[in-house]
Chain A
Amino acid sequence: MILLGYTALQIKEKILSKEILVSHLVEQQLKHIEHVEPGVNAYITLNAIESLENAAAVDKRIANGQRVGLLAGIPVAVKDNICTKNIKTTCASKILHNFIPPYDAFVVKRLKEEDAIIVGKTNLDEFAMGSSTENSAYKITRNPWNLECVPGGSSGGSAAAVAADLSFMSLGSDTGGSVRQPAALCSVVGVKPTYGRVSRYGLIAFGSSLDQIGTFTKDVKDAALLLQVIAGYDSHDSTSAPIAVPEYSYGIDAGVNGLRIGIPHEYFAEGLHPEVREAVKNALKIYERLGAKIIELSLPHTEYAVAVYYIIANAEASSNLARYDGVKYGYRANESGGIIDMYSRTRSEGFGNEVKRRIMLGNYALSSGYYDAYYLKASKVRNLIKIDFDSAFEKVDCIVCPTSPVPAFKIGDKANNPLEMYLSDIYTIPANLAGIPGVSIPCGFSTSGLPIGMQVLVKHFEEKKMLQIAYAFERETDFHVKKPPLKCG
């Protein structure tokens, strides 16, 4: 299983130099999945047969000296709220238990164009609503670093898959932190791109002004490679930015000499676990040693971010999830009570509690008499939060802060307290509200061996700089190389 521990770039080199066959690699990958999955449960659906067929096809092209794609032969996992043609896509919900998309999401099309091997669809919180993956209607995914703990959410399956070498890379989605937070809890690199950088076509919508597809990888260079593949304008997504994609990998080792790093004091206040604080402060010392300048600043509206998010995200969700009515696809309940009753039964039987809660909150916030007080108000405060970042980026090149206030918590700990669960996203939500990109990178471990992640946030469309800043730290440390103490079988 040594092969499976390599990074995507490392394994790609071995594939292109014909040192290993893709078929052999994918066989090993599937075998490892079989051994580890009973403990971790990262996947909802495996794509074994097609993976082996695609692997053989890539091997043939390489043997014939033909050109192959940027991700040739690399096993990649895809979060199960991203449409994959002919492969069941459930959003971890009963209401889509049998939904088989007749089309590929833009990002899936791109993976295929670059010859990635899509090994399976990963578990998530139902409809991407959650921070622990405990809201899945199908299974609980466990953190590979401690199987009693959550992997984070909502992209817990994708994070756990990369952490446990069940795939080399994976795709997730981030609406309030759902890529960055599980990346931090699982000790992998998680990128949320700028809003509009990656097409949302084929991403099953939750909060349309917040959603972005993001990447999970073992290190920063792999993140640059995967982002290169999925970023770019797509005419199918009217929110897709017609802005050129830079070469992310080129010059990634630029370093941070002279860089101004902002640390917002609101992100280092109460509620932050002391070991997380210490890990991030140590990381900042490393950045200083590398020539960066640390500048303290304030993002004054931070304390309102969670409240703003839970109005806007839920309002948008109540609208986006109105389509699940049993008519055109998915689960349909008993029809004997007539059409309206069918809608209600279908949705009541098909949706889990967290989804119902958020739909109702959203409808409440948008309902007549409350729209101004809630949704309009939240939209104004959202603007203030964005302006905080705009002002900050006039003084600094990036912001460095913790990703999650705490390391991975035990399964079941926050399940009965939705508000407490929402507060897990306190440091990740602001980036979604402002639309700016962010990356979480491993920066330490707690005394009980649980991963700690640190965020780098930059201005819109500055992913190239963000990756350089992340790489500068990664290069000086070995947190990203450590593997979870998993027993197979």
Chain B
Amino acid sequence: MKIDVKDIEYVANLSRIELSSQEKGLFIHQISDILSYIEKLNKLNTDGVKPMAYPLAATNVLRADELKPSISRENALINAPSTKGVFFKVPKVIE
């Protein structure tokens, strides 16, 4: 399956990754190879087969809705590149 520059740019944008033109070239080639390999799945008839989302038979795991302590604010902020008071500080989100 050959992908082109438009595909790579689309997917890089979805991934929030920016690529140099050299990287685009390299990745187009490598990703096309991998996608071609994956094409073999189309040889298989999977009509009527249920998709396996999950290796164990289980349903939603819930706990009682009881108030419990969580990580302290101090610890939650401790690795932040930039903070202001109790907030994580980031560039403007809404113009």
Of A310, A322, A327, A356, the residue contacting B27 (CB under 8 A) is: A356
Q: Name the B residues within 8 Å of A367 (CB-CB).
A: 10-11, 14
**Is A380 a contact of B17 with CB atoms below 8 Å?**
no
Give A310 to B30 CA distance when docked, in angstroms.
Answer: 13
Give A381 to B31 CA distance when docked, in angstroms.
Answer: 21
Of A99, A340, A382, A418, the residue contacting B30 (CB under 8 A) is: A418
Of A103, A379, A460, the residue contacting B51 (CB under 8 A) is: A379
| Interface size class of chain A, counting residues whose CB lies under 8 Å from the partner chain | 35 or more
A356 with B79: in contact, given A103-B71, A435-B55 (CB under 8 Å)? no
Give A102 to B75 CA distance when docked, in angstroms.
Answer: 6
Q: Name the B residues within 8 Å of A376 (CB-CB).
A: 51
Nearest Cβ distance between residue B88 and chain A, in whole angstroms? 6
A308 at interface, CB cutoff 8 A: yes
**Is A381 a contact of B34 with CB atoms below 8 Å?**
no
Of A98, A342, A383, the residue contacting B90 (CB under 8 A) is: A342
Q: Name the B residues within 8 Å of A384 (CB-CB).
A: 44, 46, 49
A241 at interface, CB cutoff 8 A: yes
When C-beta atoms are compared, the residue in chain A nearest to B51 turns out to be A379
The count of chain B contact residues (Cβ–Cβ below 8 Å) is: 50
Of A98, A209, A310, A339, the residue contacting B93 (CB under 8 A) is: A339
Q: Name the B residues within 8 Å of A195 (CB-CB).
A: 55-56
B81 at interface, CB cutoff 8 A: yes
How many residue pairs link A and B with beta carbons under 8 A? The number is 159
**Is B34 a contact of A361 with CB atoms below 8 Å?**
yes
**Is A304 a contact of B40 with CB atoms below 8 Å?**
yes
Which of A252-260, A328-336, A397-405 contacts the other chain?
A328-336
**Is B31 a contact of A357 with CB atoms below 8 Å?**
yes
A298 at interface, CB cutoff 8 A: no
**Is B34 a contact of A310 with CB atoms below 8 Å?**
yes
Give the residues from 73 to 107 in chain A that come closer than 8 angstroms, CB to CB, to chain B.
98-100, 102-103
A307 at interface, CB cutoff 8 A: yes
B84 at interface, CB cutoff 8 A: no
**Is A342 a contact of B52 with CB atoms below 8 Å?**
no
Contact pattern, B 75-95, Cβ under 8 Å of A = 1, otherwise 0: 110111110000010111100
Interface set of B (CB-CB < 8 Å, partner A): 7-8, 10-12, 14-19, 23, 26-27, 30-31, 33-35, 37-38, 40-42, 44, 46, 49-56, 58, 61, 63, 71, 75-76, 78-82, 88, 90-93
Interface set of A (CB-CB < 8 Å, partner B): 98-100, 102-103, 195-196, 209, 235, 238-239, 241, 301, 303-304, 306-308, 310-311, 318, 322, 325-332, 335, 338-340, 342-345, 347-348, 351, 353, 356-357, 359-361, 363-364, 367, 373-374, 376-384, 386, 418-419, 422, 433-435, 460
